[in-house]
Structure 1
Amino acid sequence: MNLEYFLKSKAPGWMDDKGIDADIVLSTRVRLARNLEGSRFPLSFTEQEAQQVNDMITKAAISLNNEELNFSNFTISEMPALQRQVLVEKHLISPLLAKKEKSASVLISNDETVSLMVNEEDHLRIQCLLPGLQISEAYSKAEKLDSQLEKQLPYAFNEQFGYLTSCPTNVGTGLRASVMMHLPALTMSKQIKVVTQMLARLGMVVRGIYGEGSENLGNIYQISNQMTLGKSEEEILQDLQEVTIQIIKNERGAREALLKNSRIVLEDRFNRSLGTLKYARILTTEEAAACLSNVRLGVDMGIIQGVPLHILNECMILLQPGFVQQYAGTTLQANERDIYRAKLLREKLNLKNQKLMEKGEERHDV
Structure 2
Amino acid sequence: MKSDKKNDHYKKTEKPGFSYPCFSSNAQSIAKECLNAEIFSRLNNLKTQSGFTLYDALKSGIINPDSYVGIYAGDAESYKTFESIFNPVIESYHSINIRELEKHVESATQHHNNKDHVKFFPKHKLELPDPDPEKKYIISTRIRLARNLDGFPFTTSINLKDRLEIEKIVVTALKKMPFQFQGRYKSFYNESIPTGFTKGDRFQEAAGINRDWPVARGVFESDNGKFAIWINEEDHLRIISMAKNTNLSRVFTHLQTALESLEKNLVFAWDPLLGYLTSCPSNLGTGMRVGVHIKLPKLYKKKDCLNDAAKKFNLQIRGTHGEKTEVESAIFDISNSQRLGISEHECCHTLHKGICSIIEMEENINI
Q: TM-score, normalization: structure 1?
A: 0.58
* Secondary structure, aligned partner of 1:106: strand
**Code of the aligned partner of 1:197:** D
Would the aligned equivalents of 2:176 and 2:261 in 1 still touch at CA under 8 Å? Answer: no
**1:219 Cα offset (Å):** 0.7
Match of 1:212 in 2: 323
Match of 1:224 in 2: 335
For 1:95 and 1:217, the matched residues in 2 are separated by 22
Would the aligned equivalents of 1:24 and 1:183 in 2 still touch at CA under 8 Å? Answer: yes
**Which ranges in structure 1 are unaligned for 5 or more consecutive residues?**
1-18, 259-366
**1:69 Cα offset (Å):** 2.1
For 2:185 and 2:220, the matched residues in 1 are separated by 4
For 2:134 and 2:278, the matched residues in 1 are separated by 33
**Code of the aligned partner of 1:72:** R
**1:21 Cα offset (Å):** 4.1
**Code of the aligned partner of 2:172:** K
**1:147 Cα offset (Å):** 2.1
Closer, same or farther: CA 21–31 of 1 in aligned 2, 3 Å:
farther
For 2:333 and 2:155, the matched residues in 1 are separated by 26
Would the aligned equivalents of 2:220 and 2:230 in 1 still touch at CA under 8 Å? Answer: yes
Matched, 1:74 2:189: no
For 2:308 and 2:190, the matched residues in 1 are separated by 42
Matched, 1:58 2:171: yes
Higher Rg of the two aligned structures:
1
1:261-300 mapped onto 2 (5 Å cutoff):
none
Percent of residue pairs bearing the same amino acid type: 28
Match of 2:232 in 1: 119
For 2:239 and 2:198, the matched residues in 1 are separated by 12
**1:202 Cα offset (Å):** 2.8
Count of aligned residue pairs for this structure pair: 227
**1:142 Cα offset (Å):** 1.2
**1:210 Cα offset (Å):** 1.4
Would the aligned equivalents of 2:313 and 2:351 in 1 still touch at CA under 8 Å? Answer: no
Match of 1:198 in 2: 309
Give 2:270's match in structure 1, choosing from 157, 172, 191: 157
1:281-360 mapped onto 2 (5 Å cutoff):
none
Matched, 1:96 2:200: yes
Q: Deviations over 1:162-190 (max 9, x none)?
A: 11111111111111100100111222xx3
**1:126 Cα offset (Å):** 0.7
Q: Deviations over 1:58-110 (max 9, x none)?
A: 110122152x2212110012344xx43xx21xxxx466399742311100011
Match of 2:289 in 1: 176
Which structure carries more helix by proportion?
A: 1
1:99-110 mapped onto 2 (5 Å cutoff):
100-110=213-223
**Code of the aligned partner of 2:245:** G
**1:197 Cα offset (Å):** 2.7
CA RMSD of aligned residues (A): 2.1
Match of 1:290 in 2: none
> Which region of structure 1 is more displaced relative to structure 2, 109-118 or 193-202?
193-202
Match of 2:243 in 1: 130
**Which ranges in structure 2 are unaligned for 5 or more consecutive residues?**
1-131, 205-209
For 1:229 and 1:221, the matched residues in 2 are separated by 24
**Code of the aligned partner of 1:27:** S
Match of 1:37 in 2: 150
* Secondary structure, aligned partner of 2:351: helix
* Secondary structure, aligned partner of 1:148: helix
> Which region of structure 1 is more displaced relative to structure 2, 24-33 or 140-149?
140-149
For 2:173 and 2:226, the matched residues in 1 are separated by 19
For 1:147 and 1:162, the matched residues in 2 are separated by 18
Match of 2:362 in 1: 251
Q: Deviations over 1:298-354 (max 9, x none)?
A: xxxxxxxxxxxxxxxxxxxxxxxxxxxxxxxxxxxxxxxxxxxxxxxxxxxxxxxxx
For 2:133 and 2:186, the matched residues in 1 are separated by 32
Q: TM-score, normalization: structure 2?
A: 0.58
Match of 1:23 in 2: 136
**1:212 Cα offset (Å):** 0.9
